[in-house]
Amino acid sequence: MYVNSVFIDDTFAEAFPMRAARIVVTAVNARWAREAALKLTGFATSVIACKCEAAIERELESHETPDARPGISVLLFAMDTEGLGKRLVERIGQTVITCPTTSCFDGLPGAEQRLTPGKLLRVFGDGFQGSKVVGNDRFWRVPVMDGECLLQESFGVAKGVGGGNFIILGADSRSTLAAAEASVAAIANMEGVILPFPGGIARSGSKVGSRRYKGLAASTNDAFCPTLRPLTASSLPDDVDSVLEIVLDGLDEESIRRAMRAGIAAACLPGIRAITAGNYGGKLGPHHFPLRSILDEKAEAGARP
């Protein structure tokens, strides 16, 4: 299959179950909501070393937030519910409470499973904290030096999907980066999905374990490194000299499928030779995303010119 003369590999992306929370941060203006969200999602590219994956989902207009202020929606993923709870406490405590004018709300009100980071973080108030129930939800008022930080007590937990991906194979680094940027732009602000790597793009795709170093959880994906073409069992065609990967985490399979469809279509630009995906033969996780069937609606099947 080809899309805009770009070969779409007959393979699938393999993803695994994660636990997810949606955090809504509001502030006096969009700038300060974003400042908090950027810190909240810092150092959260991969669970391999960061213990969680997080990124900004989208900006929220004031009519979309509980307190009618500008806000940012963040998705945070961890491997299990316990880990998710710890990350919420650490990150909200250190990045939202500390940020001027912010308040922090749950973005998954319908979720049955709940974590209570607000209940734990309230003790920062050293006994001066107070709570309010608005609607069916409890909020903690933690006194801080610019007034009060308002934290929702409980946050919903969703059964999310982590590790969705597609890999862009390009003729050179410039065109490959441009295609990846186009993918990120196409996916940006889509509901229910995030791209946790810097700017939404990963260059250091990894394989499980290491050929040389015992105990290493992950090491470079040598099969996709152009500089190693003659030194390893390379997966790269001769005319590919640069590879970038888009990794996606979503609240459900459909969110990832929708984002992959848009992202892959946007990446099929001049200079791109092929799009493929990372999988482990179906052994890593139960969520499989076949590239060609995802693209079915968008594909322009035909012979390569």
Partner 1 sequence: MSDRVTLTLRAPLQESIEADAIVPSAFATLGEAEIGALPVWAGRARRVLGDYFQVSGGRSTTVRIVGDVRRAHGIATGMAAGDLVVDGDAGARFAFEMSGGRADVLGSAGDDAGVAMSGGSLHVRGDAGDRVGAGLAGASRGMTGGEIVVGGSVGAHAGARMRRGLLFVGGNAGELAARAIIAGTVIVIGRVGPEPAFANKRGSLIVAGGVDVPATYRHACDYEPPHVRLALTYLARRYDISLGAGLVDGTYRRYCGDASTVARGEILEWIRE
Q: Which residues bind partner 1 (CB under 8 A)?
A: 66-69, 103, 130, 132-135, 139, 141, 147-150
Residues 278, 273: Cα–Cα separation, whole Å: 17
Spatial CA neighbour of 41 closest among 198, 150, 153? 198
Spatial CA neighbour of 197 closest among 86, 53, 13, 48? 53
CB of 118: closest distance to partner 1 in angstroms?
13
CA gyration radius, the chain: 21
Q: Which is nearer to partner 1, 143 or 270 (CB)?
A: 143
CB of 109: closest distance to partner 1 in angstroms?
12
Q: Which is nearer to partner 1, 28 or 186 (CB)?
A: 28
Q: Which is nearer to partner 1, 101 or 165 (CB)?
A: 101
CB of 74: closest distance to partner 1 in angstroms?
19
CB of 136: closest distance to partner 1 in angstroms?
10
Q: Which is nearer to partner 1, 60 or 244 (CB)?
A: 60
CB of 141: closest distance to partner 1 in angstroms?
6
Residues 113, 287: Cα–Cα separation, whole Å: 22
CB of 103: closest distance to partner 1 in angstroms?
5
CB of 147: closest distance to partner 1 in angstroms?
4
Amino acid at 184: V
Q: Which is nearer to partner 1, 144 or 223 (CB)?
A: 144
Spatial CA neighbour of 282 closest among 16, 9, 1, 10? 16
CA-angle at 243, arms to 238 and 245, nearest 5°: 145
CA 67 vs CA 24, 70, 110, 295: distances in Å? 11, 9, 18, 39
Q: Is the Cβ–Cβ distance between 235 and 224 less than 8 Å?
A: yes
Q: Which is nearer to partner 1, 147 or 209 (CB)?
A: 147
Residues 87, 28: Cα–Cα separation, whole Å: 25
Residues 15, 5: Cα–Cα separation, whole Å: 27
Q: Which is nearer to partner 1, 66 or 164 (CB)?
A: 66
